[in-house]
Each structure stands twice: as C-alpha cells, then as structure tokens.
Amino acid sequence: MTRELFWLTLTVAMTGLMWIPYIIDRIMVRGAKGAMANPTAKMKPQSAWAQRLYFAHTNAVENLVIFAALVLILDNMGIANENTALACAVYFWARAAHAFIYTVGATVLRTFAFTVGFLAQAALVLAIFGKL
C-alpha cells in the first residue's frame, strides 16, 4: 500500500466514524425512540456542539469525494513521491483539525483548517499534471 492510499484509508475511517458522537448526543437529548424517529420541526434540538459536528461531518463527506478521487487517480498513474505523501498527510490532519475546531465553535480556525485541506488537494492536482 502506498503512503497516499494509507492516508486515504485513515481519512475514510475517520469520516466514517464522525457520526457516532452526534448520534450519542441525539439519543441523550431525544431518547432512543426519538433518535430513531423521522426528523420533524417539533423535535428537541441537539446540543450546539453536536449540530456543529454534524455539519463538519457533512463537509468531510463532500470533500472526501474529491480527495479520494485525486488519490485514486495518482495511484492509477503510478505517481507517489514525498510531495504527494505529504499532501495526503496534511489533508488528513487538516480534516481532523477541521472537525474538532468546528465542533468546539472556533470559526476563524475552522476556516484556516478547511483552507489547508483545500491546498493539500490542490497540490495533488498539481502532481497529477506533473507540476509538483
């Protein structure tokens, strides 16, 4: 397994587990039956941190589509070097930071973490086109 695929695997696993804390909060706020019910406007809102984590998770899923495609393109092209491995590691840690920072509500830092992840994706695009 290349280092790029390693970081993709960790990113997929992290994204796949992000829902657990906000679902636990939903159960605690609404009870098990309420957590399994179809959402309605009358339902008690979740804790603010859980709502933010939900949005961070949604954003992580949206960006995972791009990151995964880029890593798979690199892998298919046989491109793997220090720069691509570093970009993948930076992406993983930027997304982990984004989720944590979003959950605690630090807006400026959240935007910074998102931007670092975006720049890591941009580096992968440059590598695909032989510019990195």
What is the CATH topology of the domain spanning 3-16+47-128?
Four Helix Bundle (Hemerythrin (Met), subunit A) (1.20.120)
Mean pLDDT across 11-40: 95
Report the pLDDT value the prediction gives residue 63, as an integer from 0 to 100.
Answer: 98
- Continuous H helices in the chain: 3-17, 19-36, 48-77, 82-104, 107-128
The tokens describing 47, both together, are 């804790």
Kindly indicate the confidence band of residue 131, based on its pLDDT and cuts at 50, 70 and 90.
Answer: confident
**Confidence at residue 110, expressed as pLDDT on a 0 to 100 scale:** 97
pLDDT tens column, 61-74: 999 999 999 999 99
This prediction has a pTM of: 0.94
Q: Would you tell me the crossing angle of helices 82-104 and 3-17 to the nearest 10 degrees?
A: 10
Band (pLDDT 50/70/90 cuts) for residue 23 is very high
Residue range 11-27: average pLDDT? 97
Nearest to 88 by CA among 2, 21, 24, 15: 2
Exposure of 13 by Cβ count < 10 A (0-12 exposed, 13-18 middle, 19+ buried)? Answer: exposed
Residue-wise pLDDT for 79-123, tens only, equals 999 999 999 999 999 999 999 999 999 999 999 999 999 999 999
pLDDT band at 30 (very low <50, low <70, confident <90, very high): very high
Give the model's pLDDT for residue 132. Answer: 74
